[in-house]
Structure 1
């Protein structure tokens, strides 16, 4: 694992592949680049893939700047420049990482040749929390996500290890021994959960910042959205009423359609039989979507 260290940045990152096209990956909130290793190994011949941990994640230094998408984008831009990358890049953002990627494209349109939004958070995400879904809101509202991550940030590494023991065990056989150790360090870091809580806290202001930038640049855009039925079934397994899950998923799909319409070069792909982790459930669909950018 590489580290980029200078006066402003100290970021952990990994480069895979030898392809001519550069694909930069912006991961979801609370996720690690290690979860992406199995997927990116499938596209190493076509792309040079750059993955990194945002400030406060993994061994990337905690930033003194608020965890807004705007600050994340400016840090990302400095990171790209520090790597000496001169050519335009393709960016793929998953979940909250999609919101960051969307913001980056609008701030630095001349540095991007295409964007893939993988079941991305929408700047209009507030529509989801205006629904009559009391049980779901009691479990996954922004306030709940902030509080649960703050609670974890006060836990010891041992408490976090016990809490995420299954996630650590699941890495064996998928990652190398050294990568498993690094993932364990990632998931047992109280500072990471503190960072995630702050990222959640800024979601509303992030959305306003993005909207203030005006129109989205007319670049190739692919939106890959999860399957409604698969996601509803997953919510039901967590004791969320089906009628609430259906309401939520209907609006989530509308938001994905809206994202795909930001550009006249936008395209929507539905990942059949996949929940939110499309790169894990249906890597074949993500790979198919990436072919457009070769």
Structure 2
């Protein structure tokens, strides 16, 4: 098992009509926690490293090498994905670092420019056998750049996929990035329309704000790759705060980071089971 191509995991989930958790790495402890959670429930997972995360670590390579090392020793299948890269050059760097997939995010560009840039990325990535995700219809929550009510148009999405050749498409269906409360309302009818119109797996961004029941329904309606970051970070941070509050003289960071790692691992595993629809036989049939 260990580190395997993202395409393998996504194709398997799409064929089964189940969801696949894709969780963001912030630092080594989150990578370890995500994989530990996946191992605890015996399910595959995708480790995501964002452009913002790379910037925090002073470059893409250090955190990538760490996450890849964790993935290679896992007892379950783990893939490595570059998330929300608006910088084409960062995408091209990722192609040489062992990523199984990259997300080029050109959703901030005019439609024609997004198509042209995404198509360039697809051509370069194909030469490396790397799976490409793109985004159409701005998903909110990034620096407030979101017009309320923006949704991905099914016809435009189908044309975008055909023109660019992308392998997966992130769509705007009502979720928003960086939500700390799980109150998002998804447009399930639109998800079903997109599923019927678009010949590649669909990706749900901003899933931290989506409650459990809607995540299950979203998968049933046609979503495959489910991105989560803020929700898991909350478990990590709350656990760290509890340790520091109870032990104000503690200075060994391993002791409070271990608590955060354990809390994140437990919730990551729970989400993976939820998204796999193992406890939702009725939803799986829908």
- Give TM-score scaled by structure 1 length: 0.30
- Give TM-score scaled by structure 2 length: 0.31
